[in-house]
């Protein structure tokens, strides 16, 4: 089974959640992106399946997803959380030719965030599986929160975010700004856990 992150138009995301109940699909959920999201296409669909999201959508008679990446997990953690939660997805691209050691430092800083930011519940860092979905995106950084404020407040405003992580996204910092401009930062409500890998 492969876990996929898919960007959709926001006209009928529930139909994609229903389509994820077919054979060869472990689970999936979709919802419209919340205000404050940027770079996306209106809705996000997370699905775990043997088939591609495009194949699932086509079989259900739904429009083809607008952008899909297959995830090759680096590390994550499942933290139980009752009830609905906010699922945040960040798609980013590391500049071509970046030394592997610098990519490793970026990944380590992202994975250190849950140890500093208490509102992060379940989380996952993945590389994009370029063999399944050739893409300009290289990494997907995902988290779940009990509410929107956990993301827009403590996460985005935390000193660890600004001092240790944000430098990787700033092209004006010599030797550190390795992430291409143009990100997908989207978040949505989910009725059930999405990041369930333990």
Q: Enumerate residues 6+ apart whose C-beta is below 8 A from 82.
A: none
Q: Which pLDDT does position 152 carry in this prediction?
A: 96
Q: Which pLDDT does position 158 carry in this prediction?
A: 94
H/E segment holding residue 70: strand 67-77
Q: Which pLDDT does position 162 carry in this prediction?
A: 87
Q: Enumerate residues 6+ apart whose C-beta is below 8 A from 168.
A: 106, 109, 176, 177, 178, 179
Q: Is the pLDDT of residue 69 over 70?
A: yes
pLDDT digits 0-9 by tens, 141-182: 999 999 999 999 999 999 999 888 999 998 888 778 899 999
DSSP H helices in the chain: 13-19, 53-59, 100-112, 148-149, 156-157, 159-160
The whole-angstrom separation of Cα 164 and Cα 82 is: 31
Q: Which pLDDT does position 171 carry in this prediction?
A: 80
Q: Which pLDDT does position 188 carry in this prediction?
A: 98
Q: How far is CA 100 from the centre of its chain?
A: 22
pLDDT digits 0-9 by tens, 48-62: 999 999 999 999 999
pLDDT-based confidence at residue 23 (cuts at 50, 70, 90): confident
Q: Is the pLDDT of residue 198 over 60?
A: no
CB-based contact 94:79 (threshold 8 Å) = no
Q: What's the pTM value of the predicted model, to 2 decimals?
A: 0.95
């Amino acid at each position: 089974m492969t876990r996929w992150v898919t960007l959709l138009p926001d006209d009928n995301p529930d139909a994609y959640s229903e389509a994820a109940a077919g054979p060869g699909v472990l689970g999936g959920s979709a919802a419209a992106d919340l205000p404050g999201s940027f770079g996306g296409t209106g809705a996000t669909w997370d699905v775990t399946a043997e088939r591609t999201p495009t194949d699932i959508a086509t079989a259900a008679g739904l429009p083809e997803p607008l952008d899909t990446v297959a995830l090759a997990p680096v590390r994550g953690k499942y933290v139980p959380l009752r009830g609905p939660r906010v699922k945040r997805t960040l798609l980013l691209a590391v500049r071509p030719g970046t030394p592997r050691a610098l990519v490793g430092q970026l990944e380590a800083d992202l994975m250190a965030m849950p140890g500093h930011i208490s509102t992060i519940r379940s989380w996952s860092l993945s590389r994009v599986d370029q063999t399944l979905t050739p893409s300009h995106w290289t990494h997907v950084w995902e988290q779940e929160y009990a509410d929107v404020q956990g993301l827009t407040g403590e996460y985005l405003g935390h000193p660890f975010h600004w001092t240790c992580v944000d430098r990787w996204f700033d092209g004006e910092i010599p030797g550190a700004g390795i992430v291409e401009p143009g990100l997908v930062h989207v978040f949505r409500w989910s009725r059930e856990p999405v990041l369930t890998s333990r």
